[in-house]
């Protein structure tokens, strides 16, 4: 199960035109990557920024057009990489770890509660919460057990997931 990156979810980055998204690298330059990696990993906190490769150089070495956008967070690749990552970071540059299908969901889920009306229970079980769990934990054709059925929210969500 994948979700869009935080920047895309929160609307901090606008959705770019489809032709400006780059889903995979083109012409990766391994020699350049090795040189850039040595420069960065051989630097220290006192190394002047001017001696480090630019973010556009890093993006090009990894096969990304600096002016195109990451399909996960909608950030331009020249702004996606960083020159100040010092040490043995497996995720350097950041966009090398972006998955076009999105990122793994975080441990914290923000789900809006719904107001109750009239005689409804004051703490309605959110369908979105059940939907996330059902999609994550089941495959088409699986059974879903809800021993305390309540209003039947779990059954409603599981039935609608089976039909979609």
Q: Where do the domains of the chain lie?
A: 6-97, 109-164
Q: Which residues contact 133 (CB under 8 A, 6 or more apart)?
A: none
Tokens of 127: 């369908």
What confidence tens digit (pLDDT) does each residue in 136-161 have?
888 888 899 988 888 888 999 998 88
H-helix or E-strand spanning residue 8: helix 6-9
The pLDDT value recorded for residue 29 is 92
Separation CA 161–CA 140 (nearest Å): 8
The DSSP output letter for 20 is G
Whole-model pTM: value is: 0.49
* Residue 96 in this model has a pLDDT that exceeds 90: no
**129 with 114: CB under 8 angstroms?**
no
Q: Is the pLDDT of residue 2 over 60?
A: yes
pLDDT in tens, 100-137: 566 666 677 777 776 667 676 666 778 888 888 888 88
Q: Please name the residue that has the structure tokens 């990489």.
A: 81
Q: What would the two tokens of residue 15 be? A: 């959705």
Whole-angstrom distance, CA of residue 68 vs CA of residue 139:
35
| Average pLDDT for 28-36 | 90
pLDDT, tens digit, for every residue of 39-62? 877 887 788 888 888 888 888 888
**The two structure tokens encoding residue 110:** 């923000």
Q: Identify the bridge partners of residue 103 per DSSP, sorted by sequence position.
A: 3
């Amino acid at each position: 199960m994948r979700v869009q990156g935080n920047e895309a979810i929160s609307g901090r980055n606008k959705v770019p035109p489809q032709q400006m998204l780059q889903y995979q690298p083109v012409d990766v330059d391994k020699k350049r990557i090795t040189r850039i990696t040595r420069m960065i990993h051989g630097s220290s906190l006192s190394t002047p920024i001017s001696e480090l490769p630019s973010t556009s150089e890093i993006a090009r070495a990894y096969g990304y057009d600096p002016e195109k956008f990451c399909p996960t967070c909608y950030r331009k690749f020249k702004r996606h990489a960083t020159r100040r990552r010092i040490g043995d970071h497996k995720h350097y540059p950041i966009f090398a770890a972006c998955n076009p299908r999105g990122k793994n969901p975080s441990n914290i889920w923000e789900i809006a509660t719904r107001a109750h009306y009239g005689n409804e229970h004051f703490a309605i079980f959110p369908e979105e919460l059940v939907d996330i769990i059902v999609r994550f934990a089941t495959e088409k054709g699986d059974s879903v057990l809800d021993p305390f059925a309540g209003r039947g929210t779990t059954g409603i969500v599981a039935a609608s997931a089976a039909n979609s």
